[in-house]
Every structure is written in structure tokens, then in C-alpha cells.
Amino acid sequence: MKALSALVAASTLPLLSSIATAQTLPPIKEVVSFGDSLTDAGTYWFRFTSNPGLTFAQHLAVRYGQMPLPNEHMDSYSDVYQGKHGMPGPGGLNYAEGGAKANSAYSSVSQDPEGLPISTAVQLKHYLAQHEKFSPEQLVTFYIGTNDAAYNYDPDKSPELAKQLQDNKPPAAEVMSKEKARVEKAADDAAHTVTDILAHGAKRVLVFKLVDLGNLPWFHSEASQAYVRELGRAFNARLLAELPKDDEHLLVIDTEAFADDLIANAAKYGFKHGSHEDACKLDDQDYCFPETLKDADADHTYIFVAGEHMTTRANELLADYVVKQLEASPLK
């Protein structure tokens, strides 16, 4: 497994800086999460995983003694992506919403920034309106970018490009150049949101890299896998380049290395199925329940589920991985 990439204070006395951070930070009492479906705690009354399993952020919340609840909700999933606003409650500290992008709407009919799913930029706005600032007892997770990278693979958003990729035809160089610029702008916006989180008092901020998107089951053709892999890498590179430098309160979680390790050592973790294999019975579902899984134990024998997401077991392992990296860092 690759070493975790951590951004810590780069002073002339880095060891003393790390010791000072560890001495001044109180124990973690709350987890505040921003992101998309990979983090969502149930904004639409289900989770984007092998339900009733939890997402990694929910596991973290439970670990630190907190109810793993979403901040707002929508009664019907059919109302999402339509520009309709969310409903208050249950008021948890998980602001992530399935379909979220870094700083723009995921919709073909509305660009209302308050229409669900709200971007991570708007999620932060909601948090600050409710709580004004972050406290030293909070752990903040920030995981975004998958929907920005894959947006134009959605047939509802870019039918011509999506069809071309599904037919295993690579995009022209000029198309990829525009797509890369689009994704890098999203990474810039994501880095700006992280900067705002730190500016409002957060003392423990975990920023997650994207996994190798080319391994996800939603991308069936080699052309689509190469397309999304390149865009995911472009997002990661730009995000890491634009994050605040030498901030001792920021830790980058190498989710890509984590997922690569699960795939390369599947049997070690109890998995029988790896990249490009979906635990859902039908292709391209957004979520699964026990009756819609391929097998009764698919939530623990598959790594991926519902196109772009992780199974119950993979989410548990990611939460464990995050805790280990956190405890090995000055932010523990």
C-alpha cells in the first residue's frame, strides 16, 4: 500500500510543529462531512452502497460517538436533479449529497445552486449558516470530484459523447482538452472550499483523492475507462497542487492507493470480485438492497457496487484506513 500523502507544517522545526499540534488539539468529538454519494448518509432515504450498509463517513461518525445522519433530505429520489430545494432535517453533520459536484449543479433542467444535490461549496455555506465556524473537536472530511470527472459520460448531460464512449470510441484530442480544463476548474473550486473550511477554524481536515475511476463498474468500454481515468487523474493532480501549502491542519487521504490495494489483494480482505464488477444484480443501479444484490453475500465479497460506489465491506475498510492514517498523523 502506498504511503499516505500528508500535508504538514514545513517549518524549520517540523518535528516541534507536529508536537505542538498534537498537544493543542483536543480529542475528536464530532465528524462533519462534505461530499457526494460516496459520503452521503441518506439524504434521499437510502445510501449509495449495498444497503442497509453505511458509508465510510457514517462509520467514522459512529466511531466518535455521533449519530450518522444527513443534514437535509428529499422525500422522493425522483425529485432530485430537478432544481428542487431540500427539506430541513434530520439536521446531522453529514452535508454530503448523492450527485454533488464541487461548485455547480448536477441537472439538465436547473442551475439553481440550492437545488438538490447541492455542491460542496453550497454544503459549506449551509454548515456556516447553521454553525458559523468549526471547532477544534471536529474532524472534517471532504471527498468530491467523481461527478465532476464523469459528468459528460451521463447520457442526460452529453448524449453524443456518452454514446461515443459507450461504443468504445475514444474522444478527439480537442474534446479531451476541453474536458480536462473543465475538470481542473472543478478541482480549483474544491481546493477553494477546503481553504474556506480551514479559514473558518477547522483544525482537522481530511481531503480524499479520487480512486482510479477506470476501475469502476459504470464504465463498461475501454474507451470510457481511459476517458474517466485521465480526467480523474487530472482532478487529483490539480487538487493537490491547489490545496493550501504547508498547512498542519490538513491531511490528504490517498483513496486511490487504498482502492488499488483492495483490488490487488482482494483475497486478503475477503473479496472475490474486483475492478469492473458490480455487486448489484442489474447494471448501473444507483444503490442496492439485499434483494437486488447478485448474491446474498455480495455486500462483503464485492468491492464495488451501484456503478461508482463501494460495498458495505469496502466502506468499513475505508473507515478503518482513515482512522489509521489519522492516528499516525499530527492530527490524531
CA distance 120 to 100: 7
Q: What is the pLDDT of residue 24?
A: 82
Sheet holding 309-310, edge to edge: 273-278, 302-305, 309-310
pLDDT over 90, % of the chain: 92
Reply yes or no on whether the pLDDT at 1 is more than 80. Answer: no
Q: 227-253: per-residue pLDDT in tens?
A: 999 999 999 999 999 999 989 999 999
Reply yes or no on whether the pLDDT at 11 is more than 50. Answer: no
Say if CB 232 and CB 184 are below 8 A apart: no
Q: What is the pLDDT of residue 57?
A: 98
Q: 240-292: per-residue pLDDT in tens?
A: 999 999 899 999 999 999 999 999 999 999 999 999 999 999 999 999 999 99
Q: 90-102: per-residue pLDDT in tens?
A: 999 999 999 999 9
Q: 156-188: per-residue pLDDT in tens?
A: 999 999 999 999 999 999 999 999 999 999 999
CA distance 74 to 80: 7
CA distance 35 to 38: 7
Q: What is the DSSP string of 159-219?
A: HHHHHHHHTT-PPPHHHHHHHHHHHHHHHHHHHHHHHHHHHTT-S-EEEEPPP-GGGSTT-
Of the pLDDT bands very low, low, confident and very high (cuts 50, 70, 90), residue 16 is very low
Q: What is the pLDDT of residue 44?
A: 98
CA distance 61 to 67: 7
CA distance 133 to 198: 10
pTM assigned to the model: 0.93
Say if CB 39 and CB 94 are below 8 A apart: yes
Mean pLDDT computed over every residue of the chain: 93
**What phi and psi, each to the nearest 5 degrees, are found at residue 265?**
-125, 45
Of the pLDDT bands very low, low, confident and very high (cuts 50, 70, 90), residue 23 is low
Q: What is the pLDDT of residue 15?
A: 32
Domain segments of the chain: what residues? Answer: 6-327
Helix or strand (DSSP H, E) at 276 = strand 273-278
Sign of the alpha-carbon torsion through 127, 103, 145, 3: negative
State the fold for domain 6-327. Rossmann fold (3.40.50)
**Residue with C-alpha cell 475477503?**
270
Say if CB 327 and CB 68 are below 8 A apart: no
Reply yes or no on whether the pLDDT at 108 is more than 50. Answer: yes
